[in-house]
Structure formats: C-alpha cells, structure tokens
Amino acid sequence: MDSVKFNVSVTKGLLEKTPANVLVINLFEGVKIPAGATGAIDIALDGLISKFVIGKEGFDGKFGSIYVLPTYGKIAAEKVLIVGLGKNKDFNLNRLREVSEKVIKKCMKMNNAKKVISVLHGAGIGGFDPEQAARMIAEGTLTGGYAFDKYKSEKKNTKVQDFVIVDMVEENCKKAKSGIKKGKLIADAVNFAKNLANEQPAYATPTKLAEIAQSFKDLEVKVYDKNEIEKMGMGAFLGVAKGSSEPPKFIHMKYKSPTKNPTRKIALIGKGICFDSGGLDIKPPSSMLNMKDDMSAAAAVLGIMSIIKELKPNCEVHGLIAACENMPGASAYKPGDILTAKNGVTIEVDNTDAEGRLTLADALCYACDLEVDEVIDIATLTGACMVALGTVASGIMGNHQTMIDKLIKCGAAGGEKIWQMPLFEEYKESLKSDIADTKNTGSRMGGAQIAGLFLQNFVKKVRWAHIDIAGTAFIEKKGATGAGVRTLINYLMS
Ligand code: BES
Ligand code: MN
Ligand code: ZN
C-alpha cells in the first residue's frame, strides 16, 4: 500500500542496545519511578526520565501525551519518545491502537526518524497477550501512518522508513510476528477503504469501483451493466443513475468459506453513490462539498473483500454495491416520478436527494433473492443520523436484536462506536404516498429512522441490520476514516 511508506516488523534484541533514530517507550499515568522496559531505559539514561522528565518537567503519562528527549549516546537510540498510556486500569487494546496512531503521527513530523523502534507496549505490566499487543501496535501504526498524498507534490511522510518492535524474549517475538501479520491485514483493509473514499470523484466512478472488484481475482465477481440492471428490474437504482453520464454498475463479489460447513451466509451491502449532488433537488454548495464520500460504505465493503481471502472467515460473504452518481443531468429522475423496485414495490420520488435508499432498496431485494441468512447494509445515508449522533458514533437499526447487539459489540472491539436507533412504526405514516406504495422521504423529524423504515420495505425473511455512517465516514480536515471496516471484519470473524 503506497499510502503507508514504511514497514512494521519485530526483532529479538535489547532496546537500549538497538540502534535507531527513535526509541518508543511508555509510561502509565501517575507512575513516578518507572519499572519494566521504561525503567531499564531510565537507568541507562542515569535517571533522566524519573528525575527530569517526570520529576522536574511533570510529565505524568496522561493518555496519548508524548515527551521526546535526546539520549546523548547513552543508549543506541538517538532519541527516546515516551508515550502516556493513561491510567493502568483504563488501558485496553483499543487504547493501545489509539496510542500507536499518535506515536507514528508524531514520528512522521520529526526531522530524523528513519528508524523507529518500540517496546511491545502492554505485554509487560499491561498484561496483554504479546500477539494481541503486537497486532494493535501494527494496526494503529499502519492506519496512523496513512497519508493521502497522492496528489501532493510534497509527500507527507518521507521520514519514517522502518518501525520495529524489539523484545528480548524469543517466544514474544514469535507471537508478535503473527500479531503484526493480523494487524497489517486489518490496516490494509481500512487504508484501502480510506484511499477510495478520499479519491476525487472523477477517479472513483462506478466503472472504477467495478474494475477494482474485478481485480479481486480470487473471488467470484459479477458486474452487471446498465442493460442487465434493467433486466433485473432494478427501477429504483436506475432512476437515481439516470441523471449522470457515468454508467451505473451493480457489483456482486462472492467469497466462499474454505471449510465445508460455513456457519452462515451473509450479504454486505455498501452504499455506492460516487457523487451525490442531490440531483434536481440539488444540494447547496456547503452540503455538496464532501459528497465524493457518499461511496464510503462501498469503499468499506471493497476494503473488506480485498483481504477476505486472507482473513478466511468461516461464512459465505456476498459483497454488493449498487454504484452510480446522483446528478441533475438532462435525463435526471424528477420529483414526482414513480420508480418500481426489483420486488415490485412502487416508489414516488419525493426528493431526489434521498437517493441512497433507492439504490439500497434494489440491492436489498437482490440480497434477499440470494437467500442469505443475514443482510447488513452500510451507508452514508442521512444527515439526520449525523445530527443525532455527531461524528463519533454510527447509527444502527434492524429487525433482529441479537444481531444488532453483536454488531455493536464488534464495533466496540474495533474502536468504532455504534448506537442503536429505534424503528418506531408511527413514522411509517409520513412515508405514505397518495399514488404509489411509498414515497422515498417522509417527515424531516426522525430522518434516520424514516430512512430505515423505508428500507424495511425491501427486506424479506432475513435477519437485517442497517448501519448509517453519514457522520463517521468522513471527518473535516481528516478525510475518510474507513468507518465500518473493523466492525464488519470483527462480525465476520465472530
Ligand atoms: N448522502 C446524503 C447523506 C449525508 C449527509 C451523508 C451528510 C454524509 C453527510 C444523502 O443522500 C442525503 O442527501 N440525505 C438527505 C435525505 C433527505 C433529502 C430526506 C439528507 O439527509 O438531508
Ligand atoms: Mn442525497
Ligand atoms: Zn447520498
């Protein structure tokens, strides 16, 4: 992956004897006399850490805080970077990932940090399994080291070339090696998703998404073109696609479990609106600005499918994307048009900017026709969800509480907050149309749920969950986050 320009590895050795530009060690909050690896370095530095950094400078190990000091040749590394792990009792694997992201970001800003070595945080006093710890360090380092600088003349990271975990115990190194492999895999999926969602819309077209899917040679991939989409009766999806000169693509990627008895069949649907102008109900400039991100969920599904052969979950997984643009071209669908979805449900277009649910409607029908056990759709679906939950948590709705609970748990384990929204039947009223089976929008109040209730019209006889990532997929100044990737990977592996 060229968006991360360094390697993460592990070697057996002594921290103080290993040459490096930067040595990363840690400090739990409130510790005055460090023990373990940090203690050893403190001694090697004649008590510089305990007496000066902690004693005089007041560095207190608060979560995510960083202190850098020179070593004046007392150890093999030129500088020591101490990262605060926060309170020992609050420390967990998510925090380790977060801290690792912060550390690498700091290193990337340093002038001389070609080679960074690090203690295996958490494996000592933290009490973590070395494999898990290494996995989180690798994952955080590789996602934190991500930079979308493809279009920058001056690249963001030219400094860090190597990140090496150093441990003197052979057994720890072995476990760390396998942990790094796992962490790298997850980071690859997350960074893959970020890359696609950060891309300019002129690049990440429906055709491009289809090409990417088709490049996954080890999966069964079928891409339906406009004629085939028409034949399948996906009138809702096609309605949205009409206003753009970019042809729509319906993408179906299939992964078969290597074991004889897969536990279940799952369909993952990612909203793939490659640009959302709003259509004829055009968005104002400030709302349209980041609408290249309206395919973030499709990018997440592609990211997952890009590593699924190596991930090897014991289930059958269908990745589905109805990819198109929502544009106000001369042949655009209009407010008042009536579209017929694949399952025959007729939809009066109330607002052309509620396009995601129309494309998802046909994708849901397609998924149900596959006779899978579970369908999870993920989408940058509603501004209302973003207003309700902000940029910290995604919303979830569905028809099966156990599945929802599990998804929320899998999110938490991956550091992704998901909050359940109800699907109150009362709100169905506002979706009623005088001339069709339903409208595509209802009242502005409860907008995230109304979208969920609309989607429910296209779900038949399967366990279904809908994750709204409108607030979490793309953050101002930070760009794409890869929202949903970790949650869904954990879910497939559970
Ligand atoms: N893609 C947007 C939702 C969105 C908004 C995503 C902000 C990310 C950030 C979606 O297609 C949309 O336009 N939704 C409308 C629906 C409305 C017309 C009922 C919205 O939320 O305003
Ligand atoms: Mn829209
Ligand atoms: Zn949209």
Confirm or reject: Cβ of 351 under 6 Å from ligand 1: yes
- The pLDDT of residue 159 is 85
Of 282, 326, 381, 472, which is best to mutate to test ligand 1, by the most ligand atoms within 8 angstroms of its C-beta?
Answer: 381
The amino acid at residue 27 is L
User: What are the respective helix, strand and coil percentages of the chain, to the nearest 5?
Assistant: 40, 20, 40
Q: How far is the CA of 172 from the centre of ligand 2 (A)?
A: 50
Nearby residues of 321 by Cβ (< 8 Å), 6 or more positions away: 209, 213, 249, 250, 251, 269, 270, 272, 298, 301, 302, 363
Instruction: Give the mean model confidence (pLDDT) for residues 401-410.
Output: 98
CB atoms within 10 A of CB 445: 10
Q: Which atom of ligand 1 is nearest to the CA of 447?
A: 19
Distances (CA, A) of 77 to 46, 287, 331, 446: 15, 49, 64, 56
Enumerate the domain spans of the chain: 7-187, 199-493
Q: Which atom of ligand 1 is nearest to the CA of 281?
A: 18
The amino acid at residue 460 is K
Instruction: Give the mean model confidence (pLDDT) for residues 205-229.
Output: 97
Q: Which atom of ligand 1 is nearest to the CA of 381?
A: 3
- The pLDDT of residue 261 is 84
Instruction: Give the mean model confidence (pLDDT) for residues 236-242.
Output: 99
Q: How far is the CA of 273 from the centre of ligand 2 (A)?
A: 9
The amino acid at residue 254 is K
Confirm or reject: Cβ of 335 under 6 Å from ligand 1: no
Confirm or reject: Cβ of 322 under 6 Å from ligand 1: no
Nearest to 186 by CA among 149, 134, 256, 148: 134
Q: Is the pLDDT of residue 125 over 80?
A: no
Which H or E run includes 321? strand 316-326
102-124 pLDDT, tens digit each = 999 999 999 999 999 999 998 88
Task: Judge contact between 126 and 35, C-beta under 8 A.
Answer: no
Confirm or reject: Cβ of 277 under 6 Å from ligand 1: no
Instruction: Check if 283 is active-site.
Output: yes
47-91 pLDDT, tens digit each = 999 999 999 999 999 999 999 999 999 999 999 999 999 999 999
- The pLDDT of residue 169 is 95
Confirm or reject: Cβ of 350 under 6 Å from ligand 1: no
- The pLDDT of residue 177 is 98
Confirm or reject: Cβ of 352 under 6 Å from ligand 1: no
- The pLDDT of residue 5 is 86
Q: Is the pLDDT of residue 482 over 60?
A: yes
Q: How far is the CA of 200 from the centre of ligand 3 (A)?
A: 16
Q: How far is the CA of 321 from the centre of ligand 1 (A)?
A: 18
Instruction: Give the mean model confidence (pLDDT) for residues 471-487.
Output: 97
Q: How far is the CA of 43 from the centre of ligand 1 (A)?
A: 57
- The pLDDT of residue 277 is 98
Cα pseudo-dihedral 476, 478, 483, 485, rounded to 10: 160
CB atoms within 10 A of CB 96: 24
- The pLDDT of residue 171 is 96
Q: Is the pLDDT of residue 230 over 60?
A: yes
- Residue that the structure tokens 């070697």 belong to: 11
- The pLDDT of residue 191 is 98
- The pLDDT of residue 249 is 99
Confirm or reject: Cβ of 272 under 6 Å from ligand 1: no
Q: Which atom of ligand 1 is nearest to the CA of 356?
A: 11
The amino acid at residue 156 is K
Distances (CA, A) of 231 to 235, 339, 368: 10, 15, 17
The amino acid at residue 200 is Q
The amino acid at residue 196 is L
Q: Topology of domain 7-187, per CATH?
A: Leucine Aminopeptidase, subunit E; domain 1 (3.40.220)
Task: Judge contact between 12 and 64, C-beta under 8 A.
Answer: no
Task: Judge contact between 10 and 176, C-beta under 8 A.
Answer: yes
Confirm or reject: Cβ of 470 under 6 Å from ligand 1: yes
Task: Judge contact between 299 and 268, C-beta under 8 A.
Answer: no
318-366 pLDDT, tens digit each = 999 999 999 999 999 999 999 999 999 999 999 999 999 999 999 999 9
Instruction: Give the mean model confidence (pLDDT) for residues 130-134.
Output: 97
Confirm or reject: Cβ of 451 under 6 Å from ligand 1: no
Nearest to 79 by CA among 56, 43, 113: 113
Which H or E run includes 210? helix 206-214
CB atoms within 10 A of CB 285: 7
Nearest to 253 by CA among 305, 207, 201: 305
Choosing from 62, 74, 105, 283, the catalytic residue is 283
Task: Judge contact between 15 and 45, C-beta under 8 A.
Answer: no
Q: Topology of domain 199-493, per CATH?
A: Aminopeptidase (3.40.630)
Q: Is the pLDDT of residue 233 over 80?
A: yes
Q: How far is the CA of 136 from the centre of ligand 2 (A)?
A: 36
Q: Whose CA is nearest to atom 17 of ligand 1?
A: 354
Q: How far is the CA of 410 from the centre of ligand 1 (A)?
A: 26
Mean of per-residue pLDDT scores for the chain: 97
Choosing from 249, 357, 439, 486, the catalytic residue is 357
Confirm or reject: Cβ of 188 under 6 Å from ligand 1: no
Phi, psi of 353 (to 5 degrees): -85, -10
- The pLDDT of residue 127 is 85
Task: Judge contact between 94 and 132, C-beta under 8 A.
Answer: no
Confirm or reject: Cβ of 276 under 6 Å from ligand 1: yes
- The pLDDT of residue 260 is 82
Q: Is the pLDDT of residue 130 over 90?
A: yes
Give the β-pairing of 393-398 and 463-468: antiparallel
Instruction: Give the mean model confidence (pLDDT) for residues 11-19.
Output: 97
Instruction: Check if 357 is active-site.
Output: yes
Q: How confident is the model at residue 3 (pLDDT cuts 50, 70, 90)?
A: confident
Nearest to 257 by CA among 204, 313, 303: 313
Q: Is the pLDDT of residue 99 over 70?
A: yes
CB atoms within 10 A of CB 114: 15
Q: Is the pLDDT of residue 470 over 90?
A: yes
Looking at the chain, the whole-number percentage of residues with pLDDT higher than 70 is 99
Q: Which ligand is nearest to the CA of 279?
A: 2
- Residue that the structure tokens 């991360």 belong to: 4
Q: Which ligand is nearest to the CA of 447?
A: 1
Q: Which ligand is nearest to the CA of 274?
A: 3
Q: How far is the CA of 67 from the centre of ligand 3 (A)?
A: 43
Residues in the 5 Å CB sphere of ion ligand 3: 273, 276, 294, 356
